[in-house]
């Protein structure tokens, strides 16, 4: 079938073009896309040699309605609304342990954006385009998605807001509740207040953290962080980060999604004995940390990375939806919607810091 898709070419604007989409294969579904969030990962894949073969159809925070089922798909029906999350095989040891972010085939599905046999469901003028990004490629009017990616979504829920649950909000909230697992007396620092960081702040508030310190270089982001639950803020553009954290009394937990070594080192150095830090930010190629190993050993601190907040979307997204329904996850404060045709304006606004989470509406 012919569909409209935003085709990504290296360091060029997205162009919405007509492409061909094949029908769903076994364990896949065809989804008519309602809305899709834009994530920094999409722009990194397009412009910074992330490893995704180009040209490609990107987009990995899709919400839509199932139009057709491939062979062997169970538990889903035509007409159902779904959130499309990241790709995973559903069968390897990590998937069996309900840790699909560490699927043995994660690089194929999510980074290289291909089926396991190397094929793509999208082509143009007889030439295959990369079209299985995070198992969906949802910058399009329709997408072929892996059935394992999908989470049912209630008819009453606003699609544009729910897109962020597929990756950004899932990552930040999951890093807090699944990885750091705070207690009420914890003091947590969140470094970087975009979608992921603000989701972490919301989750820390839900968890009842005694202190929530937000760190960013944009004053308006810090204002949003306060509105969402931060008890203290640090403007890293105006203050020495290490000194500021010391004046605040240090941290028991830290979450970084900046990927900047100097920020991570300052966060690590601010941890109390047995403090824990989790990293979710994409760093520059070859980036490294300098840590005092004796201090690491003697203080009992720990540092670890996390992908998608260690979440299993099939159980964690419904939990996020419950928080949203209770008013504890005010996604409307971070989402700005754009018509699909304004994808380049939306991406530019995100990069410039004018919006937090831009979401494309494929339907009026």
Angle at 225 between CA 207 and CA 234, to 5 degrees: 105
Mean pLDDT on 126-138:
95
Which residues lie below 8 Å from residue 295, measured CB to CB, with a gap of 6+? Answer: 301
Quickly state the pLDDT bin for 239 (edges 50, 70, 90).
Answer: confident
Instruction: Answer for the pair 40, 282: CB distance below 8 angstroms, yes or no.
Output: yes
Mean pLDDT on 116-121:
93
Strands (E), the chain: 2-8, 15-21, 28-37, 56-57, 62-69, 81-84, 122-124, 127-129, 142-146, 150-152, 187-191, 211-216, 232-235, 251-256, 271-279, 302-305, 335-339, 357-361
Cα atoms found within 13 Å of the Cα of residue 351, Cβ hemisphere only? 12
In the block, tokens 């005092």 appear at: 292
In the block, tokens 């979608």 appear at: 195
Does pTM top 0.85 for this prediction?
Answer: yes
Quickly state the pLDDT bin for 295 (edges 50, 70, 90).
Answer: confident
C-alpha–C-alpha distance, residues 257 and 220, integer Å: 18
Mean pLDDT on 227-238:
95
Q: What percent of the chain has pLDDT over 70?
A: 100
**Mind listing the pLDDT tens digit for each residue in 10-68?**
889 999 999 999 999 999 999 999 999 999 999 999 987 778 999 999 999 999 999 99
Distant-in-sequence contacts of 153-160, Cβ < 8 A, 24+ apart: 153/63, 153/81, 153/82, 153/83, 153/321, 154/81, 154/321, 155/81, 157/81, 157/321, 157/324, 159/34, 159/35, 159/63, 159/64, 159/81, 160/35, 160/63, 160/335, 160/337, 160/359, 160/361
Q: CA 218: distance to chain centroid?
A: 20
Quickly state the pLDDT bin for 284 (edges 50, 70, 90).
Answer: confident
Instruction: Answer for the pair 212, 231: CB distance below 8 angstroms, yes or no.
Output: yes
Residue 283: the pLDDT is 86
Which residues lie below 8 Å from residue 161, measured CB to CB, with a gap of 6+? Answer: 324, 331, 332, 335, 359
Quickly state the pLDDT bin for 256 (edges 50, 70, 90).
Answer: very high
Q: Tell me: pLDDT of 236 over 80.
A: yes
C-alpha–C-alpha distance, residues 5 and 19, integer Å: 7
**Mind listing the pLDDT tens digit for each residue in 148-186?**
999 999 999 999 999 999 999 999 999 999 999 999 999
Quickly state the pLDDT bin for 121 (edges 50, 70, 90).
Answer: very high
Average pLDDT of the chain to the nearest whole number? 95
DSSP letters of 252-290?
EEEEE-S--HHHHHHHHHTEEEEEEEEE-PPPPTT----
Residue 294: the pLDDT is 85
C-alpha–C-alpha distance, residues 245 and 150, integer Å: 40
Residue 50: the pLDDT is 75
Q: What percent of the chain has pLDDT over 90?
A: 91
Mean pLDDT on 263-286:
93
In the block, tokens 């194929």 appear at: 108
C-alpha–C-alpha distance, residues 154 and 83, integer Å: 10
Residue 224: the pLDDT is 97
Residue 292: the pLDDT is 86
Which residues lie below 8 Å from residue 266, measured CB to CB, with a gap of 6+? Answer: 241, 242, 245
Which residues lie below 8 Å from residue 357, measured CB to CB, with a gap of 6+? Answer: 37, 38, 164, 168, 194, 195, 334, 335, 336, 350
Q: Tell me: pLDDT of 343 over 90.
A: yes
């Amino acid at each position: 079938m012919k569909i409209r898709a935003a085709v990504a070419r290296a360091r060029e604007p997205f162009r919405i073009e007509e492409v061909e989409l094949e029908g769903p294969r076994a364990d896949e579904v065809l989804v008519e896309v309602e809305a899709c969030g834009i994530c920094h990962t999409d722009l990194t894949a397009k412009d910074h040699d992330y490893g995704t073969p180009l040209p490609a159809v990107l987009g990995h925070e899709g919400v839509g309605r199932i139009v057709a089922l491939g062979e062997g798909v169970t538990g889903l029906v035509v007409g159902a609304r779904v959130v499309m999350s990241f790709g995973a095989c559903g069968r390897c040891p990590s998937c069996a342990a309900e840790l699909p972010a560490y699927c043995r085939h994660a690089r194929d599905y999510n980074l290289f954006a291909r089926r396991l046999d190397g094929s793509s469901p999208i082509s143009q003028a007889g030439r295959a385009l990369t079209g299985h990004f995070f198992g969906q490629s949802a910058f399009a009017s329709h997408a072929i998605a892996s059935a394992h990616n999908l989470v049912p979504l209630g008819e009453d829920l606003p699609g544009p807001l729910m897109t962020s649950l597929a990756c950004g909000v899932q990552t930040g909230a999951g890093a807090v509740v699944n990885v750091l697992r705070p207690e009420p007396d914890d003091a947590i620092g969140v470094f970087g207040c975009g979608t992921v960081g603000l989701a972490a702040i919301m989750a820390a508030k839900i968890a009842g953290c005694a202190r929530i310190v937000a760190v960013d270089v944009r004053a308006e982001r810090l204002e949003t962080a306060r509105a969402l639950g931060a008890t203290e803020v640090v403007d890293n553009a105006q203050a020495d980060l290490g000194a500021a954290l010391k004046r605040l009394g240090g941290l028991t937990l830290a979450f970084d999604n900046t990927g900047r070594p100097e920020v991570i080192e300052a966060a690590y150095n601010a941890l109390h004995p047995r403090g824990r830090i989790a990293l979710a930010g994409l760093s520059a190629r070859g980036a490294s940390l300098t840590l005092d190993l004796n201090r690491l050993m003697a203080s009992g601190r720990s540092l670890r990375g996390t992908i998608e907040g260690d979440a299993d979307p099939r159980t964690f997204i419904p939990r996020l939806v419950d928080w949203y329904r209770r008013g504890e996850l005010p996604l409307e404060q971070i989402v700005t919607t754009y018509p699909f045709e304004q994808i380049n304006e939306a991406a530019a606004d995100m990069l410039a810091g004018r919006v937090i989470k831009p979401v494309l509406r494929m339907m009026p």
